[in-house]
Amino acid sequence: MNPNSPSFLTVLIFLLLCFQTSESQNFLRRGSSLSAEDNSGVLTSPDKTFSCGFYGLGGNAYLFSIWFTHSRDRTVVWTANRDRPVNGQGSRASLRRNGAMVLTDVDDTVIWMTNTTSTGADRAELLDTGNLVLKDRHGKILWQSFDYPTDTLLPNQVFRKSTKLISGVGNGTYASGYFSLYFDNDNVLRLIYDGPEISSVYWPDPDFDVFQNGRTKYNSSRIAVLDDFGSFSSSDELKFSAIDMGFGIKRRLTMDYDGNLRLYSLNKVTGSWMISWQALMQPGKVHGVCGKNGICVYTPEPKCSCPPGYEATEPGDWSKGCKPKFNRTCSSSLTEVKFVGVPNTDFYGFDLNYSQTVSKEACMKLCLDDCRCSGFSYRLTGQGLCFTKSVLFNGFKAPNFPGIIYLKLPVSVEASEPAILNGTNPVCRLSKSQIVIGSASMYDTTAKRVRWGYFYWFALAIGAIEVFVIASGWWLLFRRQDVPSSLEEGYQALSSQFRRFSYAELKKSTKSFKEELGRGGSGAVYKGVLADGRAVAVKRLGDLHQGEEVFWAEVSTIGKIYHMNLVRMWGFCSEGRHRLLIYEYVEKQSLDKHLFSSYFLGWKERFKVALGTAKGLAYLHHECLEWVIHCDVKPENILLDSEFEPKIADFGLAKLSQRGSNSSQFSQIRGTKGYMAPEWASNLPITAKVDVYSYGVVILEMVKGIRLSNWVVEDSEGQEAELKRFVREVKRKILFEEEAWIEEIVDPRLKGNFNTNQAATLIGIGISCVDEDRSKRPTMDSVVQSLLECETESEIHITDDH
Ligand SMILES: *[C@@H]1O[C@H](CO)[C@@H](O)[C@H](O)[C@H]1NC(C)=O
Ligand SMILES: *[C@@H]1O[C@H](CO)[C@@H](O)[C@H](O)[C@H]1NC(C)=O
Ligand SMILES: *[C@@H]1O[C@H](CO)[C@@H](O)[C@H](O)[C@H]1NC(C)=O
Ligand SMILES: *[C@@H]1O[C@H](CO)[C@@H](O)[C@H](O)[C@H]1NC(C)=O
Ligand SMILES: *[C@@H]1O[C@H](CO)[C@@H](O)[C@H](O)[C@H]1NC(C)=O
Ligand SMILES: *[C@@H]1O[C@H](CO)[C@@H](O)[C@H](O)[C@H]1NC(C)=O
């Protein structure tokens, strides 16, 4: 046979593939074992995402683990006994005849085993989910690795009251560290630093109570799960989503060695991980990173350091913290003890006493007179705030922190301030408070890969190597066409724009909040110009009684909503009490100014605004990832750009201010009198139909050119809304088929320059939208449909009009 002939090649490839498939299996039979020595000792999940076997730590040390096959650094998601690596030679992971899966070291010591002895376990199998399961002959699962997570939770892996995610000790080091995620006794999911000497809960924000943090204590099921879509939900009402939420992306939720809990998404192309959510947005919020007495210094590279008078307990292991270089005395005489101040620094928690409006001297006296006091924190912001500390823990130094920590030291200790805080170890590194978002390429490849994968097999089966080549060509071609470049660019632009701003930055860009654009229920809006030249509208929110993470979660949801008829949110700021939202600046102010004051809006523009607003609302109600009810649709919230394209403002804020009260129920009436649907007054649940009602009022006002939402007093029937009277009048006119009724209704300022058909449609829609019975109101989707139909019609007949 000619070795160059296609059929020869085909056979060769086929044989190679057969060899490969027989090599990577996903199960282990009873009585067989895996070893580190030969490379065949790896189980691979059917879709090849996960591998299970001996994972080399370098040298001759191995762990029996499950890892992502295709991530660049083969990310480990589970380990049998993470604290005890085994020898590369002679170690085995076996499914013994008695049904137990056992890991043994070279000298046959049992390092780890499952409790499945004499249960009839027949095979160990690695599933596509990354779960290693032991099954009996009938396929019943007797044991699963999902019940024993280490530091990582995979999608569909249920997190329960008995489980914990425990961090590793360092980057790429798998032994158990001190940070964990767990369900606390009060049913709340928390992060804790649980070190050798001290433990300290640091998430959710300990400065707020459970409800302010958006959680609940009253569901004792203590269960949480991350789904395939990238949404995490827990029985304590913690809910968050990956910023790239959607199917087909590999994710993991990991308790990182630096104490932060992060959700990662795998970039299939590069094999690298991107952070798609994280529990703590600011460095310095994780506790215990530098141990007792240690300080995490951000200057700007975060490092561990010891305060004056202290030295590292064990250089190289910062979890042990710093120890005093002196013997503590209980003296309260300033001849024996002194206080050394370290600026911009604090130790969180462990307060002996907290007092307000005290002088520094009084605060010092409190610490001096208390034998347990090892220092005090003093802040001059507002009045003097004084915290006396029993234990120095969770120390951090950040350039913008407005307080000073004063350490109580014996007079004899030499401690000059500048000599200190020379960070020695970059262990307390936290990523900056940035959201890193995957590129668009993460979205497109999965499904297509699978389909074309079948195609390869088909091509091989019919034994035509040429087809193979053509198929590859096609694949490349199609793959390139799959993502329209504009979409990709759009996505990237979108992702790079949403970010966190600092208060100082906003203060500067708004010239200290000089130019006020408007003021609404949720706060005042100011004009600003960012450093990159973009004009923005900065909204200062009033008091929101909620923790930072809740705020961040809500805001990032709003930040992801993008539609041409919605005002784009570019970012937010959350610092101390300040909560601000940064929006694109829309040129031509709000619709009310154009309708009800000296400006004038022509018919074409009015129709455009009606249609665009409907599109924006339809998107909020039906299309965007998290459905949003606006709750305050009115001309003041419809902004016009230079082309008179409307953009709806303030969407999503209803939800923001609703938190703190119970879950998603609207307990508090929102909206503006005159535009509010009648069900706000009754006890009915609030649905998207409240927006449909408000929209109806707005379009009727646009047609009529006056405010119908005003309350008027009528002589005969007492108080009645202008709107009701108007609707009655129109219905009567239609009923009696009065001629030229439309002309009588439409804004006389238009002087007859309008499209009759469009006007009739708008009036019809408007009236059905403001129906008292909400089930008779149309949906925004159908409104858009009707308007689109008469929009095109108008283009044809436009010259017929008057
Ligand atoms: C193994 O342990 C788990 C949890 O400790 C328990 O739920 C399960 O019933 C045990 N299985 C057997 C066969 O003892
Ligand atoms: C861990 O170390 C690797 C290289 O050793 C580095 O690329 C990665 O950024 C580190 N991760 C963190 C969270 O520091
Ligand atoms: C408790 O949480 C679980 C899981 O989120 C949920 O299914 C259940 O309905 C909740 N129970 C109550 C009483 O809210
Ligand atoms: C602390 O006290 C111990 C004995 O109580 C003594 O040996 C040691 O030298 C003292 N250390 C200092 C720094 O004074
Ligand atoms: C805290 O300090 C105040 C004086 O500012 C004092 O009256 C109070 O007893 C102190 N409380 C404790 C627990 O030491
Ligand atoms: C602090 O570090 C700088 C350089 O990083 C070094 O020059 C200086 O001597 C160090 N100071 C102390 C007290 O170790």
What separation in Å is there between the alpha carbon of 638 and the centre of ligand 2? 47
Q: Tell whether 389 and 531 lie within a shared domain.
A: no
Q: Read off the CATH number of the domain in which 558 is found.
A: 3.30.200.20
Q: Which of 122, 151, 244, 632 is catalytic?
A: 632
- Within 8 A by CB and 6+ apart from 367, the residues are 339, 373, 375, 376, 388, 406, 408
The side-by-side arrangement of strands in the sheet containing 302-305 is: 302-305, 295-298, 395-397, 345-347
Residue type for position 488: E
- Strands 718-721 and 711-714 come out as antiparallel
Nearest Cα neighbor of 79 from 93, 99, 58 is: 93
List, chain by chain if needed, residues with CB within 6 Å of any ligand 3 atom. 219, 221, 223, 235
| Residue 100 counted as domain residue | yes
Q: Tell whether 580 and 593 lie within a shared domain.
A: no
What separation in Å is there between the alpha carbon of 157 and the centre of ligand 1? 17
What's the domain range around 323? Answer: 290-428
- Measured between alpha carbons, how far is 549 from 686 in angstroms, rounded to an integer? 26
Q: Tell whether 611 and 746 lie within a shared domain.
A: yes
Asked whether 269 and 441 are in contact (CB, 8 A), the reply is yes
What is the total count of domains within the chain? 4
List Cα–Cα distances, 299 to 153, 304, 423, in angstroms.
Answer: 33, 11, 9
Asked whether 589 and 577 are in contact (CB, 8 A), the reply is no
Q: Tell whether 577 and 636 lie within a shared domain.
A: no
Instruction: Please state, as a whole number, how many other Cβ atoms lie within 10 Å of the Cβ of residue 277.
Output: 24
Q: CA 618, 624, 629: angle at the middle one, nearest 5?
A: 60
Q: Tell whether 631 and 672 lie within a shared domain.
A: yes
What separation in Å is there between the alpha carbon of 672 and the centre of ligand 3? 34
Q: Is the CB of 424 under 6 A from ligand 1?
A: no
Q: For 494-507, what is each residue's pLDDT tens digit?
A: 334 577 788 888 99
Asked whether 637 and 590 are in contact (CB, 8 A), the reply is yes
Domain end (from 585, 613, 647): 585
What separation in Å is there between the alpha carbon of 170 and the centre of ligand 2? 10
CB-neighbour burial class of residue 31 (10 A; exposed 0-12, middle 13-18, buried 19+): exposed
- Within 8 A by CB and 6+ apart from 125, the residues are 26, 27, 28, 43, 132, 133, 134, 135
| Residue 140 counted as domain residue | yes
- Measured between alpha carbons, how far is 174 from 153 in angstroms, rounded to an integer? 15
- Measured between alpha carbons, how far is 398 from 296 in angstroms, rounded to an integer? 9
| Helical pair 722-735 and 689-704, crossing angle rounded to 10 deg | 70
- Dihedral of CA atoms 294, 295, 300, 303 in degrees, nearest 10, equals 10
DSSP string, 589-601: -BHHHHHHSS---
Nearest Cα neighbor of 701 from 648, 635, 750, 772 is: 635
- Measured between alpha carbons, how far is 232 from 159 in angstroms, rounded to an integer? 11
Asked whether 272 and 252 are in contact (CB, 8 A), the reply is no
| Residue 387 counted as domain residue | yes
- The pLDDT value recorded for residue 552 is 74
- Strands 165-170 and 173-183 come out as antiparallel
Nearest CA to ligand 5 atom 9: 353
Ligand showing the shortest atom-to-Cα distance for residue 147: 1
Name residue, tokens 């074409």. 604
Domain end (from 377, 404, 428): 428
Asked whether 679 and 776 are in contact (CB, 8 A), the reply is no
- The pLDDT value recorded for residue 263 is 93
List, chain by chain if needed, residues with CB within 6 Å of any ligand 6 atom. 419, 422
Ligand showing the shortest atom-to-Cα distance for residue 432: 2
Q: Read off the CATH number of the domain in which 123 is found.
A: 2.90.10.10
- Measured between alpha carbons, how far is 83 from 103 in angstroms, rounded to an integer? 13
| Residue 729 counted as domain residue | yes
φ/ψ region of 80 (left if φ > 0, alpha if ψ in -120 to 50, else beta) reads: alpha
- The pLDDT value recorded for residue 471 is 47
The encoded tokens of residue 114 equal 């499952």
- Measured between alpha carbons, how far is 224 from 154 in angstroms, rounded to an integer? 12
Q: Tell whether 578 and 650 lie within a shared domain.
A: no
Bridge partners of 206, per DSSP, are: none
Q: Hey, which of 114, 115, 142, 144 would you mutate to test ligand 1's pocket, going by the most ligand atoms within 8 Å of its Cβ?
A: 115
The encoded tokens of residue 155 equal 């999608």
| Residue 83 counted as domain residue | yes
Nearest CA to ligand 5 atom 14: 353
Q: Is the dihedral of CA 87, 88, 91, 92 positive or negative?
A: positive
Asked whether 102 and 112 are in contact (CB, 8 A), the reply is yes
Q: Tell whether 580 and 690 lie within a shared domain.
A: no
Residue type for position 281: M
- Measured between alpha carbons, how far is 691 from 697 in angstroms, rounded to an integer? 10
Catalytic annotation present for 228: no
- Strands 310-312 and 27-29 come out as unpaired
| Residue 39 counted as domain residue | yes
Which residue ranges in the chain fall short of pLDDT 70? 1-24, 38-40, 171, 282-285, 298-302, 316, 381-382, 400, 416-497, 521, 543-547, 549, 624-627, 654-670, 711-720, 738-739, 792-802
Asked whether 290 and 304 are in contact (CB, 8 A), the reply is yes
Q: Tell whether 651 and 737 lie within a shared domain.
A: yes
φ/ψ region of 48 (left if φ > 0, alpha if ψ in -120 to 50, else beta) reads: left
Q: Tell whether 395 and 527 lie within a shared domain.
A: no
Nearest CA to ligand 5 atom 13: 353
Residue 640, SS3 per DSSP: strand
Q: Is the dihedral of CA 417, 418, 419, 420 positive or negative?
A: positive
- The pLDDT value recorded for residue 796 is 43
- The pLDDT value recorded for residue 711 is 61
- The pLDDT value recorded for residue 606 is 92
Bridge partners of 311, per DSSP, are: 323
Nearest CA to ligand 1 atom 10: 115
Q: Is the CB of 171 under 6 A from ligand 2?
A: yes
What separation in Å is there between the alpha carbon of 183 and the centre of ligand 3? 15
Asked whether 647 and 567 are in contact (CB, 8 A), the reply is yes
Asked whether 571 and 499 are in contact (CB, 8 A), the reply is yes
Domain end (from 585, 607, 628): 585
What separation in Å is there between the alpha carbon of 171 and the centre of ligand 2? 6
| Helical pair 780-797 and 603-618, crossing angle rounded to 10 deg | 150
Which atom of ligand 1 is least distant from the CA of 117? 13
Q: Tell whether 536 and 593 lie within a shared domain.
A: no
What separation in Å is there between the alpha carbon of 422 and the centre of ligand 6? 6
Q: Read off the CATH number of the domain in which 317 is found.
A: 3.50.4.10
Q: Tell whether 141 and 43 lie within a shared domain.
A: yes
List, chain by chain if needed, residues with CB within 6 Å of any ligand 4 atom. 326-327
Instruction: Please state, as a whole number, how many other Cβ atoms lie within 10 Å of the Cβ of residue 649.
Output: 24
Nearest CA to ligand 2 atom 9: 171
Q: Is the CB of 31 under 6 A from ligand 2?
A: no
- The pLDDT value recorded for residue 187 is 94
Q: Tell whether 656 and 800 lie within a shared domain.
A: yes
| Residue 16 counted as domain residue | no
| Residue 706 counted as domain residue | yes
Which atom of ligand 5 is least distant from the CA of 362? 5
Q: Is the dihedral of CA 553, 165, 133, 126 positive or negative?
A: positive
Q: Is the CB of 426 under 6 A from ligand 2?
A: no
- Measured between alpha carbons, how far is 666 from 661 in angstroms, rounded to an integer? 8
The encoded tokens of residue 259 equal 């104490």
Q: Read off the CATH number of the domain in which 787 is found.
A: 1.10.510.10
